[in-house]
Structure formats: structure tokens, C-alpha cells
Amino acid sequence: MSAAVKRAILSALFCLLSCSKAEVSPQRSASSQSTARRGGSTDPTDEDFQMPQLPRAKVTVRDVYGGAHAFDAEIAESEESQTRGLMWRKELPSDKAMLFIFSNEQVRSFWMRNTLIPLDMIFISADKTIAGIVANAAPQTLSSRSVAAPSKYVLEVAGGFCEKADVRAGSRVEIEKR
């Protein structure tokens, strides 16, 4: 057998061994690709974490007079998106929001770690009635924010909205996923 043929066979074997090693751990290579695609941290609380684009919903909040206030809301349903929330955002336009959707209804608690802007947190029951509001939650704190009633949804909007718009506990909310 010639030296050229031996080199070709060795190269082919080396290639096969390399390829089979990559197939042994597809989960690791998928997570490595995910991290590389994100281009940063895998911790959702880190500033350089790249959150994938979230699904959206039109959320309409009724005020005490029956007026409607519509928001284009990002939906946080996964643990990763709920952990991240609105961290590191420098502004939240008045027509934008984040809607947290949970699998069950219970008393919820939120904190504002790495959240740079004040928010109104609207806690919403399973029947889409506002159970309570935490108004103008101070940013960058670990203080727990909660209301005494169970909620299935929490809508975060720009701080001061609820007072300006006369939105209170007992008001209705409509959620239309897009």
C-alpha cells in the first residue's frame, strides 16, 4: 500500500472518529450553539444575556370609568423570560408592557433587581380581574412586591400609569395573544 493511500485512510478514520464524538453529545453541542448564538451569558439576570424574541399579546386594561388602555405586551411564560423580566431596560414606552403568564393562580411576589425603571405591577386573577396593584415600584431593589390576593397574570407597565389612568383593583383586563 502506498504512503498516499495510507494517509488517505488515516485521514478518513480521523474524520470518522471526530464526527462520531460530536454525535455522542448532541445536547452539549446544541447548548454550545445556543450560547454562541446568544453571544453572551447564560444567566438571564446578567446584562449581556441575549433574550430570544418573546411572543406578544394585546392587553387591554379597563379604568374605573370603563375606558380602555391597550398595550403591546411581550409575554414572559418561560422560567428564563420570567427571571429576566424587564431587567436592564432603560425605558418602557407608555404603550408597551410585559405580561407574565403562570400555569396556576397563587399569591405572587416580584423584586426589581437590575430593573432600571419604576414600574406599576398589575396582579391579575384567573378570571382577568385586577387583584391588586403595586404602584411605582422602586427600581434596583430586592424588596419583595406583592399583593395579598392570588394571581395568574402580572402585567408590568411604566410607573405611574395606574394612578394617571384610574386603574384599580376590580378593573377588568382583556388578553389577546398574537
Residues 37-62: tens digit of each pLDDT: 445 777 656 677 676 788 899 999 99
Global pTM? 0.74
Please, which pLDDT band fits residue 96 given cuts at 50, 70 and 90?
very high
DSSP 89-143: -S---TTEEEEEEEEEEE--EE--TT--S-EEEEEE-TTSBEEEEEEEEPSS---
